[in-house]
Amino acid sequence: MARHLVMAGRLAEEEPEQAYKHARAARRLASRVGIVREAAGIAAYHAGEWAEALAELRAARRLGAGDDSYLPVMADCERGLGRPERALDVIKSPEAAKLDPMGRVELRIVESGVRRDMGQYDAAVVTLQIPELRDRRLRPWSMRLFYAYADALVEAGRGDEAADWFARAAAADRDGDTDAAERYAELEGLHILDTEDDDADTADDADDTTAATEGADEDAADEDAGAEEPETEPEPMSAATDIAFQPAEPEVRDVPDEDAPEAPAVFLEPKPVDDERPENEERPPRGD
């Protein structure tokens, strides 16, 4: 049961049909648990099952799990079932006065839609002229309130004012949850270019061009290399029997030049030592 509830919560926004199936499976396993009935009601609401969503949320309130914060959802379910009078009864109920600022704004948005369904277009605009609409600071409800007010102005035939409020809604819609920017461009006669897709296409084209250029350069380089370096036939390998032996070269000796003059041979007589001097030779006097 718990796994089904977790999956219902995860898939509520992106895959409401699958979330609704998980919520119904959890309800079959624990139909007397208030939080299970509440989750089943929210999943049915996102899936567009208005009658079942209304029944599940009422059951959750009886079991003590549901609170007054789901009054805008219940009123919107009555509107989806084509019962605007019942939706107004929920909106004007005493429990509606206990809602927090977020709940009160959501209830006003639902009431504005009910007035439009009843053909009361000016009343739909007046319903949303609340102090929160003129708040200079962005609040959690600012985007939805601005968008609903601009939509009501369009239905009332006040397109110039609606364009201004669609622009404010687009500025408050930082995550792109609404089509406020497209609605503003439509009223102003503008054309919005998707720069992200254009940049991606340009990048892909540039990559393809670069790859083609590099491939052509590589091919040209290969052709140039083939032209500059002609193929040479490999030299045949000589067999072992093809080796030729050559005789050694005769040794050449230095021959004296006949024209060069001969140098006279000089013989030097060695000097005698003191003991070998002749007896008659006088020795030099020694100092005292």
* Whole-Å CA distances, 198 to 49, 183, 193, 194, 204: 39, 21, 8, 6, 10
The H or E element that residue 49 is part of is: none
Q: Give the span between the Cα atoms of 20 and 52, in whole angstroms.
A: 11
Q: Give the span between the Cα atoms of 2 and 23, in whole angstroms.
A: 10
Q: Which residues contact 89 (CB under 8 A, 6 or more apart)?
A: none
pTM value surpassing 0.95: no
- Quick one: pLDDT at residue 242? 45
Assign 6 a pLDDT band (cuts: 50, 70, 90): confident
The H or E element that residue 230 is part of is: none
Q: Give the span between the Cα atoms of 117 and 79, in whole angstroms.
A: 8
Burial 12-43 (b: 16+ CB within 10 A, else e): beeebebbbbbbbbbbeeeeebbebbbbbbbb
100: number of Cβ within 10 Å: 10
Angle at 6 between CA 3 and CA 10, to 5 degrees: 140
For 68, the 3-state DSSP assignment is helix
CATH topology for the 1-66 domain: 1.25.40
Q: Which residues contact 274 (CB under 8 A, 6 or more apart)?
A: 283
* Whole-Å CA distances, 263 to 136, 174, 266: 125, 115, 9
> Which residue, chain included where needed, has tokens 């497209």?
182
Q: What is the pLDDT of residues 26-81, one digit of tens each?
A: 888 887 888 888 889 999 999 999 999 999 999 988 887 657 889 999 999 999 99
Q: What is the pLDDT of residues 195-237, one digit of tens each?
A: 555 555 555 665 665 555 555 555 555 555 554 444 555 454 4
